[in-house]
Amino acid sequence: MSRWIQEGDNVDITNERKKGTFDTERLSAWIHGGTDVLKRRREILEFVKSVDDFKDPVPIEFLSREERILNNARKVVAMTDNTDQIDGSDFFGEGMYYQALTMGRDLHAMSLHYVMFIPTLQGQTDDEQLDEWLTKAISRAVVGTYAQTELGHGTNLSKLETTATYDPATEEFVLNSPTITAAKWWPGGLGKSSNYAVVVAQLYTKGECKGPHPFIVQLREDDTHLPLKGIRLGDIGPKLGINGNDNGFLLFDKVRIPRKHLLMRYAKVKPDGTYVAPAHSKLGYGTMVFVRSIMIKDQSTQLAAAATIATRYASVRRQGEITPGKGEVQILDYQTQQFRVFPQLARAFAFMAAATEIRDLYMTVTEQLTHGNTELLAELHVLSSGLKSVVSWDTAQGIEQCRLACGGHGYSQASCFPEIYGYAVGGCTYEGENLVMLLQVARFLMRAAEEVRKGTAKLADIGAYIGRTGAKSSRLTTHHHYTDAQLVEDLEHAARKQVFRAYDRLKKAQQHLNPEDAWNSVSVELAKASRWHVRVYLVKNFLHKVSLAPQDLKFVLVDVARLYAYDIITSSIGAFLEDGYMTSNQMNEIKEGIYECLAKIRPNAVSLVDSWDYDDKELKSVLGRRDGNVYPALLEWAQNSQLNKAEVLPSHTKYLGPMMKDARSKL
Amino acid sequence: MSRWIQEGDNVDITNERKKGTFDTERLSAWIHGGTDVLKRRREILEFVKSVDDFKDPVPIEFLSREERILNNARKVVAMTDNTDQIDGSDFFGEGMYYQALTMGRDLHAMSLHYVMFIPTLQGQTDDEQLDEWLTKAISRAVVGTYAQTELGHGTNLSKLETTATYDPATEEFVLNSPTITAAKWWPGGLGKSSNYAVVVAQLYTKGECKGPHPFIVQLREDDTHLPLKGIRLGDIGPKLGINGNDNGFLLFDKVRIPRKHLLMRYAKVKPDGTYVAPAHSKLGYGTMVFVRSIMIKDQSTQLAAAATIATRYASVRRQGEITPGKGEVQILDYQTQQFRVFPQLARAFAFMAAATEIRDLYMTVTEQLTHGNTELLAELHVLSSGLKSVVSWDTAQGIEQCRLACGGHGYSQASCFPEIYGYAVGGCTYEGENLVMLLQVARFLMRAAEEVRKGTAKLADIGAYIGRTGAKSSRLTTHHHYTDAQLVEDLEHAARKQVFRAYDRLKKAQQHLNPEDAWNSVSVELAKASRWHVRVYLVKNFLHKVSLAPQDLKFVLVDVARLYAYDIITSSIGAFLEDGYMTSNQMNEIKEGIYECLAKIRPNAVSLVDSWDYDDKELKSVLGRRDGNVYPALLEWAQNSQLNKAEVLPSHTKYLGPMMKDARSKL
C-alpha cells in the first residue's frame, strides 16, 4: 500500500492510490537515485520542519514585498547557519532540495552570492586574491553578487558600457557609468542586500580598451551598510516572479578601487598599466554546463510540481456527469483533461532523466579533460545550451497547461501555479536568452552539416545521426510493434532533414547576401533545426533510461516515455509527411498510440506524481495537497487575505459608502 | 508625417515612423470605425486625463492590495459620477474605452454590478421587481454582484449546492449553504464591496427541488456595511491577476429572505408554495453572445497592447551586430524576432475584425428574432462560444510570446506584460471554460456532419463548408498567385476533414460504448474540429474585411492577413499533407510566403501598432512608451519600489548585518 495514504484523506485520492499498480517508493528511489538518497531527503525534510526560523508567518503570497524580503533574510541566515545538515558537495542533490524546502521559489538575498559570486572568485582570482576574498565570502563576512547585465545590454557582452579606467598614478581603477544604459540592472540581491559585487566593466589602460573584465567592488560600508561615495543603487521594482529578491540597479560616478581588485587569474594589469593578456581567452565551458544542468533539474522540478498539483486536484475535483444519473465524475476521467495534463507529466520525467544524464556527462567530460581529451566538450556545451532552451520553454508551457486544467481555482494563488510559472518562465530568458542559445546550437549543426557534405565529419554520439544516411521511410507498422530503435530513427530522420533544410537554405542565401545577413535570413529555420536536435536527444535518453529500469517499474514508465515521444511527433506531423517518410496511416497509428497511453496512465496517474516525493512544504499548493482535502483548505487559506483583516474597508468608508448613502437619500 | 512623432522622441522610433508607407490616422479610423469615433476617443482621453480622481498616486504595481482596492474605489465612483461624458448606449465602443482608461486592467468594486447584476435584473425580474431593484442599482443606492459559482461547482450548474427552501408559514425563502463546497466563490466585488447580490440557489418548495434559480439578497447592512445575520463572507485572496478586485466567498446559515426576492420573470412561487414553471426554459442566447463579443474585443485589445509594446521596444532596443563593425542593430531586424512578434500583431488584427463582425451579427440576429426568424441563432451562439475559446487561448499565448521577445525587461512589471497576461489569460477560464466551450461547438458540428451524411443539412453561411464536397487537392501554385478564395478553400478542406474524422470516430466508438463514454473517448478530436471551425471563420472574416479596405490601406493589411492565415496553416502542416491534399512543394510555398510577409511588414511595423491608437495612459508600459525613451523611464519607474523607501532595510539590520558583523569579527 502506498506510503502516501493516511487516515482522514479525501476518499477519491485514497482510491487512486490504492489503484496504483506499482510501488511508489521504488519509483521514487529510481527517480532520485536510490533508497539512500530518499532517506537523506526525508532527514533533510524533517530537519527543515523542525527549525522555527524556516517557518513563514503566513503563506508568502500574503506578504508585501518588504515583508517577503525580511522573511527571506531570516530564513537565508538560518539556512546558511545550518549547512552542516547537508552534504555541501552534492549541490545538485541535497543542496537544491534543502534550498527548495527552506527558501521556496522566491530566491533570496544570497542566491547570487552562492551561484555566481563565489564561483567567479574561485574561477577568476589569482592565488593571493582567492585567499582574501574566498575566505570572506565563505565565512559570510561579505555578501556578494555578480553585476554584469546592464540596462542597455544583456546578450551582447562586448558592448557593455561600464568602464574601469586604470590610473597608474594612484594604482587604481576608476569605475564609471558614462550613460544611463550603462546602469547595471537585474543582478539578484544587488538592490539592498549585497555589500560587494563582482562588476564586469570595460578595462581601459594606456588609452586602450581591453574588453570586459571582472572587478571586485565594495558597494556599501561595512558598518552602516550605506552606499559608498559615487555609488547609486537600489531595487529595480516588482517582477513577474521572485519578488522576495531585491534585483538591483547600480551606477558608478568615478569610483576608485585598488588595482588588485581586478580579478587576475587570467588577464593582469601591472602597476605601470601594462596589460597582460590571458593565455586562454575562452571562458570555462565546464561551469556553464554545470549551471545549465542545474537549471534543467530545477525546471523539471517545477514542471513536475505543476503536474502533481493538476493530477491530484483532477482526482478530487468532481464535475459533470459522463453518464447521466451515475453521479459526477472525477475530472481526471475526461479524455481532454488527460490530454492536457499527462503530456506534462511525461515531459517532467523526460527532463529529469536529461538533467541526471547531463550532470553525469559533465563529470565524464571533466574527467576526459584531465587527460587532455576535448572531443566531447563542444558537443556537450552545445547540447546543454539547447536543452536549457527547449526545456525551459516546454516547462513554462506545461505549467500553464496544468494551471488551466484546474479551471478557476488554478487562477488563485492558492494553487501556487502563479508562483511556479513566474519562477520557472524566467529560465527562458536568464543564463542565455532561448533563441540566442538555439542559434548557438545551430552554429554547431551547420558545421556538422558542412562536414557531412564534405565527408569529413567526425561526430560524437549526440550528433552522429546527422552523418547517417537513414532509411527512406519509417519502419512503423502498428504502434504496438513500434520499437524504440524505430522510433528514434524516425525522430532522427526529422531532425536530420531540418538540419539540412536549414543548411541548404543558408548556402543558397550566402550566394546573394553577406554571411551575417544570410544567417539572419534563415534563422527561423536554424532555430527549428536546433529544437529537433535537442528533442531527439531528450527522447533517446529517456527511452534508454526507461529500458534499463527494473521490470516492475518499466511497464508503467514505458507508457510515459511513449506518450512523450508520440506527443513530439504529432506536434510536428508535417516533418514526417512532407517527404513521404511516413504515410498518414502510420501517423494515425501514432495518434492511436497517444490515446492508448492516456488510458494506460490514467489508473497510475496519482501514484506517478506521488513518486516524485513532494512534501506539501515544497509543493506549497492548496490544490495539490497530499491529503486531497482541497475545499476546506481553500477556505482556510483565504482567511489570510490582507483584505480580511478588517470587516469594513476604507474603500467603503471613504468612497462606496457615501456614494450609496447619497443615492439612497434621493430615492 | 505620422501624428505619433514628437520632438524629443527616441531617434530610432521616429525613423520607423517616418519609414511607414501609409497614413496611420487613416488606418486608425478604419480599425475603430471612422474618424468620428477617433475624435470621440480623443475627447474621452482628454477628459479622463483632466480629472484628478482618475490619477494613480504611483503606478499601481507598487501598491499593496489594500491600497489598490482603495485607489480603485475612488476611481470607480468618479467614473460612474461622470458617465454623462460618454455615450452609454455604446458600451462596446465608448464604454469599454472609458473604463479601460480609468480603471486599467484591475477590474473594480462595481465590475459585476454593471456586467452581471444589472443585466440579470433587467432580464430576470418581473415588472414590479424591475421597478424597485433597477432603480436602486442604477442610482448606485446598492452595489450588487452575481453569485453563482461555488467552491465545488463552476461548469456544472445543475449541481450547485446552495439551497433556497420556501417556507409558506412566513412566505420566505431560507438560504443555506449545507457544505463547505456550497460556498459561493469567485464573484467579483463580493468580498468587501457589494452589499447586494443575485444569488443562484436550488429552489425547494413543497419538498421538491426545482433546480437553480436567481434570488436577490441583501448581504450587508445599509449603514454599517456589516454582514447581515447568518451571512459569512470575505475576500478569496490574491490571484494571478485582477488583484484590485475583491473576488469573494459567501456562506449562508439559514438566512431568510422574502418570497418576492425570487426573480420572477420566468419561474414563480406562489404564497402557498406552488411552483409555476417558466414558459421558456432556455436562457436568452442573446446576452451570452453579447458578453462574448465584448470578451473578444477585450482580448484583442490586450493582444494588440502586447504587440504594440514588443514592436516599439524592438525598434529602440539595439543589441548585437548582424554585420561586424556596422554597429548594433535594432532587434526588430532579427528574423527570429519578427517571427515571434508579427504573428501576434496579425492575430490582434484578425481578432478585432472578428469582434466587430460578431457584434454586427448579433444585431442582425436580434433583428431577425423580432420577425420570428431563429435560423442563424444557434450557429451564432456556437460561433461566439468557439471564438471566445480560440481567441482567449491565442491571445494568452501571443502575449507571452511578446513578453519573451522583450528579453529580461519583459519580465519586469515595468513592461506591463505580467499585468496584461494575468488579466487576459483569465478569459480562458471565465464565461465558460475553453474546453467545455469547444465541446459545445462540437455538438453543433456533429449534428451538422450527421445531417450532411443524411443529405438533410441546411447550413447557414458560417458552417456551409461542412456540406460542400470541395476539391481533392489545393489549387495553390505559387504564393504570389494564391487567391483569397483558394486559401479559404484549403482551410475549409482541413476543417471539414477534421469534422468528419471526429464524426467517424464518434460513430465507431458508439458501436461499443454508451453515447456519453463514446463522446468522451473522442473528445480530443472533437475539440480539434471545433478549433478548425473557428479558425476558418477568423481567416475568412479577416480576409473579407481586408478586401473591402481602401487601396491605400489594403496593400499593407494584405500582408498582415496573409501572415495570419499562413501561420495557421504552417502550425498544422499535417492537416494539409495527410490526405495528399497539398504537396510538400505547396507547403514550402506557404512557408516562403511567411518570410515574405515578415519582410514586408518590417518597415511598417511601428506604424501598424501606432494605428491601434493606444495612449500611454492605456498601455501603461515603460517598454511600450510612445516616445521610445525607454531607459531613463525604467530608471525612474524603479524609484517607486517599496524597497527603495529606506536606504537600509530591516532585513539588513536584523539579520544580514549581524551575520556579516559576526563573521568579520572572527576573520
Query: Has B149 been labeled as part of a binding site?
Result: yes
Contact status of B573 with chain A (Cβ, < 8 Å): yes
- pLDDT tens for B335-361 read 999 999 999 999 999 999 999 998 888
Contact status of B651 with chain A (Cβ, < 8 Å): yes
Residue in B62, B523, B575 nearest the CB of A336? B523
Contact status of A325 with chain B (Cβ, < 8 Å): no
Higher local confidence (pLDDT), B123 or A402: A402
Determine how β-strand B248-252 pairs with β-strand B231-235. antiparallel
Q: Please indicate whether, in this complex, the C-beta atoms of B413 and A239 are within 8 angstroms of each other.
A: yes
What is the rounded CA–CA span in Å between residue A391 and residue A434?
Answer: 10
Q: Please indicate whether, in this complex, the C-beta atoms of A524 and B191 are within 8 angstroms of each other.
A: no
Query: Which residue in chain B has the smallest CA separation from A141?
Result: B660
Q: Please indicate whether, in this complex, the C-beta atoms of A224 and B643 are within 8 angstroms of each other.
A: no
- pLDDT tens for A352-393 read 999 999 888 888 887 887 777 777 777 788 889 999 999 999
Phi and psi, residue A181, nearest 5°: -65, -15
What is the rounded CA–CA span in Å between residue B563 and residue B294?
Answer: 25
pTM: 0.97
How far apart, in Å, are the Cα atoms of A631 and each of A539, A610, B159, B469, B647? 38, 20, 16, 52, 43
How far apart, in Å, are the Cα atoms of B113 and each of A323, B155, B175, B187, B508? 37, 22, 21, 10, 48
Query: Which residue in chain B has the smallest CA separation from A432?
Result: B407
Residues in chain A within 8 Å Cβ distance of B318: 152
Query: Which residue in chain A has the smallest CA separation from B143?
Result: A660
What pLDDT score was predicted for residue A230? 98
- pLDDT tens for B592-618 read 999 999 999 999 999 999 999 999 999
Residues in chain A within 8 Å Cβ distance of B652: 73, 192-193, 225
Of A556, A594, A371, A413, residue with least CA distance to B237: A413
Select which of B431, B492, B525, B618 is catalytic. Answer: B431
Q: Please indicate whether, in this complex, the C-beta atoms of B650 and A77 are within 8 angstroms of each other.
A: no
Size of interface A-B (CB pairs under 8 A): 381
Q: Which amino acid is at B136?
A: K
- pLDDT tens for B167-176 read 999 999 999 9
B197-208 CB burial, b ≥16 within 10 A, e <16: bbbbbbbbbeee
Contact status of A377 with chain B (Cβ, < 8 Å): no
Residues in chain A within 8 Å Cβ distance of B516: 321-324
Query: Has A34 been labeled as part of a binding site?
Result: no
- Min Cα distance B38 → chain A (Å) is 32
- Min Cα distance A214 → chain B (Å) is 21
Residue in B136, B153, B521 nearest the CB of A335? B521
- pLDDT tens for B520-531 read 999 999 999 999
**Cα dihedral A326, A332, A336, A338 sign:** negative
Note the residue count of chain B: 667
- Give the whole-number percent of chain A exceeding pLDDT 90: 87
Contact status of A329 with chain B (Cβ, < 8 Å): no
CA A198, distance to chain mean position in Å, is 23
- Give the whole-number percent of chain B exceeding pLDDT 70: 99
Contact status of A627 with chain B (Cβ, < 8 Å): no
Residues in chain B within 8 Å Cβ distance of A637: 237
pLDDT at B283 over 50: no
- Cβ burial of A105 (10 Å; 0-12, 13-18, 19+) is buried
Contact status of B328 with chain A (Cβ, < 8 Å): yes
Of B149, B173, B145, B144, residue with least CA distance to B161: B149
Q: Please indicate whether, in this complex, the C-beta atoms of B411 and A429 are within 8 angstroms of each other.
A: yes
Provide mean pLDDT across the span A439-443. Answer: 96
Residue from A641, A647, A666 to probe the interface with B (highest B Cβ count within 10 Å)? A641
pLDDT band at A113 (very low <50, low <70, confident <90, very high): very high
Contact status of A82 with chain B (Cβ, < 8 Å): no
Provide mean pLDDT across the span A196-206. Answer: 98
pLDDT band at B89 (very low <50, low <70, confident <90, very high): confident
Residue in A234, A412, A527 nearest the CB of B638? A234
Of B566, B620, B616, B572, residue with least CA distance to B596: B566
Q: Please indicate whether, in this complex, the C-beta atoms of B524 and A663 are within 8 angstroms of each other.
A: no
Contact status of B35 with chain A (Cβ, < 8 Å): no
B612-626 CB burial, b ≥16 within 10 A, e <16: bbbeebbbbbbbbbb
What pLDDT score was predicted for residue B556? 97
Residue in B237, B578, B634 nearest the CB of A640? B237
pLDDT at B146 over 90: yes
The interface residues of chain A toward chain B in range 416-455, judged by CB-CB distance below 8 A, are: 417-418, 422, 425-426, 428-430, 433-435, 439
Residues in chain A within 8 Å Cβ distance of B429: 404, 407-408, 410-411
- Min Cα distance B414 → chain A (Å) is 8
pLDDT band at B305 (very low <50, low <70, confident <90, very high): very high
- pLDDT tens for A68-86 read 999 999 999 999 999 999 9
pLDDT band at A151 (very low <50, low <70, confident <90, very high): very high
Element (H, E) at A214: strand A208-218
Contact B408, B401 (CB under 8 A): no
Provide mean pLDDT across the span B153-158. Answer: 88
Residues in chain B within 8 Å Cβ distance of A223: 661
Residue in A426, A595, A660 nearest the CB of B142? A660
Q: Please indicate whether, in this complex, the C-beta atoms of B520 and A322 are within 8 angstroms of each other.
A: yes
pLDDT at B1 over 70: no
Contact status of A369 with chain B (Cβ, < 8 Å): no
Residue in B72, B140, B643 nearest the CB of A65? B643
Residue in A109, A335, A400 nearest the CB of B523? A335
Residues in chain B within 8 Å Cβ distance of A434: 404
Provide mean pLDDT across the span B29-45. Answer: 97
What is the rounded CA–CA span in Å between residue B189 and residue B234?
Answer: 10
Tell me the three cell numbers of residue A286.
565546464
Tell me the three cell numbers of residue A430.
536568464
Residue A286 burial (CB count, 10 A): 16
C-alpha torsion A15→A17→A18→A23, nearest 10: 170
pLDDT at B408 over 80: yes
pLDDT band at B373 (very low <50, low <70, confident <90, very high): confident
Contact status of B463 with chain A (Cβ, < 8 Å): no
Residue in A64, A140, A578 nearest the CB of B64? A64
Tell me the three cell numbers of residue B386.
468557439
- Give the whole-number percent of chain B exceeding pLDDT 90: 87
What is the rounded CA–CA span in Å between residue B407 and residue A152?
Answer: 11
Structural domains in chain A, CATH included, are 141-278 (2.40.110.10)
Mean pLDDT of chain A: 95
Query: Which residue in chain A has the smallest CA separation from B522?
Result: A335
The interface residues of chain B toward chain A in range 525-564, judged by CB-CB distance below 8 A, are: 527
Half-sphere exposure of A169 toward its Cβ, with a 13 Å CA cutoff?
A: 4
Of A196, A189, A193, A183, residue with least CA distance to A232: A183
Q: Please indicate whether, in this complex, the C-beta atoms of B335 and A654 are within 8 angstroms of each other.
A: no
Q: Is B321 a catalytic residue?
A: no
Q: Please indicate whether, in this complex, the C-beta atoms of A527 and B336 are within 8 angstroms of each other.
A: yes
Residues in chain A within 8 Å Cβ distance of B420: none
